[in-house]
């Protein structure tokens, strides 16, 4: 396992070396225009905005896709390598270490705070309420145990030092807030912006409450994640974060958010959400403000997808040890569709794998199970397996009335119907017609000798 830097700047340097950073030198406005550029920037490279209207702080967007993630983490650009990398973080967590004089504390502001003045916080979609922070890694501590909880939540700017934080009652952070309220305590948070892709994926891991997601990041890095103590709160932040906002929940204050975009690309109205009072903003010298384009865009999909598919793989493996790979598809909005491959499955193990996936993540509502000769990351290969191996009357099953996440696009009375598609090869199936593997490998390794011109 490679030892790599833990900061977003380390990731950007790795991407720069292979030409996967695009610089936007022309002036852009934070009001919709920056989002429109991110939405249309080709090639899935990271994007640096050098010139933002009315701001001196630069911005970074589109940092994470599968190739960018692999390069930033020093691994091969394959699904297997990505799964193993994240899986190693979950199975071999490392306790973070505290450091003093961290880069994220080079500049400290505790007075005259004005979030919109100081940071190029963006508006995204026309019917939303205002400016949203979308790449904030939110850290809080259990008021009873002191254990950290790490998550990513949207943050709506309400005023110079006020933020609404979006979270469901099912979220761990909400449960910590309830604990604090019952104990008569104030819950403090740190919100770090501008982090390494591994930290972003770790923050989205589907693990139990009490499990410190920063330990997962350390396992992924193969060294403890370095954290900086808070300045005005007793909560830490990654030492290399570009910007850290320190805040506390305002007791019993709620804000009616109105329409907001979700991962499925449509507006929802979740009602009222809690409010934070900002106590401090700290940052590096010449910081980068990180933006994740929300809604139906690939970075938003993939950060969640890589976390979900890895924890799903681990849960499926408990039920079906022959599982080889699992991928959450972009077409399934990075949340809802899972493709699983099995090696030499026994009868009924396809269905068992699907049930395990449904039980693990309530957002997953369609599972396709294939043999390990299918590339689960290739939609054409997966569709071929369905066309060539699935018998619809036997291999499609539906489970109606399953409790669903509130973010589900077609939720009805809090439930959704889940679908399993078993596209496994029968023993009597026709053999695949394939060119010998050794010849394919030889041609690939000697490709330049063929002098192919396109």
pLDDT digits (tens, 9 = 90+) for 211-252: 999 999 999 999 999 999 999 999 999 999 999 999 999 999
Examine residue 279 and state whether it is found in any structural domain, yes or no: yes
Residues 282 and 349 in one domain: no
Residues 277 and 128 in one domain: yes
- How much is the pLDDT for 1? 38
Residues 242 and 117 in one domain: yes
Whether the per-residue pLDDT at 59 is higher than 70: the answer is yes
pLDDT level of residue 299 (50, 70, 90 thresholds): very high
Residues 51 and 119 in one domain: yes
Residues 150 and 220 in one domain: yes
Examine residue 3 and state whether it is found in any structural domain, yes or no: no
In this prediction the pTM is 0.93
Examine residue 442 and state whether it is found in any structural domain, yes or no: no
Whether the per-residue pLDDT at 386 is higher than 60: the answer is yes
Candidate from 196-210, 212-226, 401-415 with smallest mean pLDDT: 401-415
What CATH code is carried by the domain that includes residue 368?
3.40.1670.10
pLDDT level of residue 454 (50, 70, 90 thresholds): confident
Residues 263 and 335 in one domain: no
Residues 347 and 290 in one domain: no
The number of folded domains in the chain is 2
Whether the per-residue pLDDT at 267 is higher than 70: the answer is yes
Examine residue 172 and state whether it is found in any structural domain, yes or no: yes
- How much is the pLDDT for 383? 97
- How much is the pLDDT for 434? 92
Examine residue 82 and state whether it is found in any structural domain, yes or no: yes
Examine residue 234 and state whether it is found in any structural domain, yes or no: yes
Residues 179 and 226 in one domain: yes
Residues 267 and 329 in one domain: no
Residues 274 and 223 in one domain: yes
Examine residue 64 and state whether it is found in any structural domain, yes or no: yes
* Of 362 and 291, the one with more pLDDT: 291
- How much is the pLDDT for 328? 96
pLDDT level of residue 280 (50, 70, 90 thresholds): very high
* Of 207 and 291, the one with more pLDDT: 291
Residues 25 and 64 in one domain: yes
Residues 418 and 294 in one domain: no
Last residue of one domain, picked from the residues 263, 298, 333: 298
Question: Rounded mean pLDDT of 433-449?
Answer: 94
For 416, the domain range is 320-423
Examine residue 365 and state whether it is found in any structural domain, yes or no: yes
User: Over the chain, what HEC string results?
Assistant: CCCCCCCHHHHHHHHHHCCCEEEECCCECCECHHHHHHHHCHHHCEEEECCECCCCCEEEECCCCHHHHHHHHCCCCCHHHHHHHHHHHHHCCCCCEECCCCHHHCEEECCCCCHHHHCCCEECCCCCCCCEECCCEEEEECCCCCCEEEEECCEEEEECCEEEECCCCCCHHHHHHHHHHHHCCCCEEEEEECCCHHHHHHHCCCCCCCCCHHHHHHHHHCCCCEEECCCCCCCCEECCCCEEEEEEEEEEEEEECCEEECCCCCEEECCEEEEEEEEEEEECCCCEEEECCCCCCHHHHHHHHHHHHHHHHHHHHHHCCCEEEEEECCCCCCCCEEEEEECCCCCCHHHHHHHHHHHHCCCCCEEEEEECCCCCCCHHHHHHHHHHHCCHHHHEEEEEEEECCCCCCCCECCEEEEEEEEECCCCCCCCCCCCCHHHHHHHHHCHHHHCCCC
What CATH code is carried by the domain that includes residue 277?
2.30.110.10
- How much is the pLDDT for 427? 86
């Amino acid at each position: 396992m490679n030892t790599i830097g833990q900061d977003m700047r380390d990731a950007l340097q790795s991407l720069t070396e292979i030409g996967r950073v695009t610089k936007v030198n022309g002036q852009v406005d934070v009001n919709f225009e920056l989002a429109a550029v991110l939405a249309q920037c080709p090639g899935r490279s990271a994007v640096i905005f050098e010139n933002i209207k009315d701001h001196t702080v630069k911005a970074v967007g589109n940092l994470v896709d599968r190739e960018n993630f692999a390069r930033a983490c020093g691994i091969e650009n394959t699904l297997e390598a990505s799964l193993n990398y994240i899986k190693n973080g979950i199975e071999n967590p490392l306790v973070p270490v505290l450091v003093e004089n961290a880069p994220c504390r080079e500049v400290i502001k505790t007075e005259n705070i004005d979030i919109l003045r100081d940071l190029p916080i963006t508006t995204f979609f026309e019917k939303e309420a205002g400016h949203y922070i979308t790449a904030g890694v939110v850290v809080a501590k259990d008021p009873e145990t002191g254990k950290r909880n790490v998550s990513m939540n949207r943050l709506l700017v309400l005023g110079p030092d006020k933020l609404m934080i979006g979270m469901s009652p099912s979220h761990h952070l909400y449960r910590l807030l309830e604990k604090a309220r019952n104990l008569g305590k104030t819950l403090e948070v740190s919100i770090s912006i501008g982090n390494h892709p591994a930290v972003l994926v770790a923050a989205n891991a589907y693990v139990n409450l009490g499990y410190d997601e920063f330990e997962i990041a350390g396992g992924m890095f193969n060294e403890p994640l370095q954290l900086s103590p808070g300045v005005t709160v007793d909560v830490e932040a990654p030492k290399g974060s570009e910007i850290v906002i320190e805040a506390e929940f305002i007791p019993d204050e709620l804000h009616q958010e109105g329409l907001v975009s979700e991962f499925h690309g449509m507006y929802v109205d979740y009602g009222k959400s809690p409010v934070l009072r900002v106590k401090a903003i700290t940052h590096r010298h010449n910081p980068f403000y990180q933006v994740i384009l929300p809604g139906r865009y690939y970075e938003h999909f993939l950060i969640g997808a890589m976390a979900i598919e890895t924890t799903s793989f681990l849960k499926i493996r408990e039920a079906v040890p022959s599982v080889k790979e699992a991928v959450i598809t972009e077409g399934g909005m990075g949340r809802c569709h899972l493709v699983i491959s099995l090696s030499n499955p026994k009868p009924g193990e396809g269905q068992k794998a699907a049930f395990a996936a449904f039980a693990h993540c309530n957002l997953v509502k369609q599972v396709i199970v294939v043999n390990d000769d299918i590339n689960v990351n290739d939609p054409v290969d997966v569709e071929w397996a369905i066309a060539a191996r699935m018998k619809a009357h036997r291999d499609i099953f539906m489970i109606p009335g399953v409790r669903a996440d509130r973010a589900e696009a077609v939720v009805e009375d809090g439930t959704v119907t889940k679908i399993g598609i078993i596209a496994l090869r029968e023993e009597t199936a026709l053999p695949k017609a394939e060119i010998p593997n050794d010849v394919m490998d030889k041609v690939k390794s000697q490709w330049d000798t063929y002098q192919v011109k396109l």
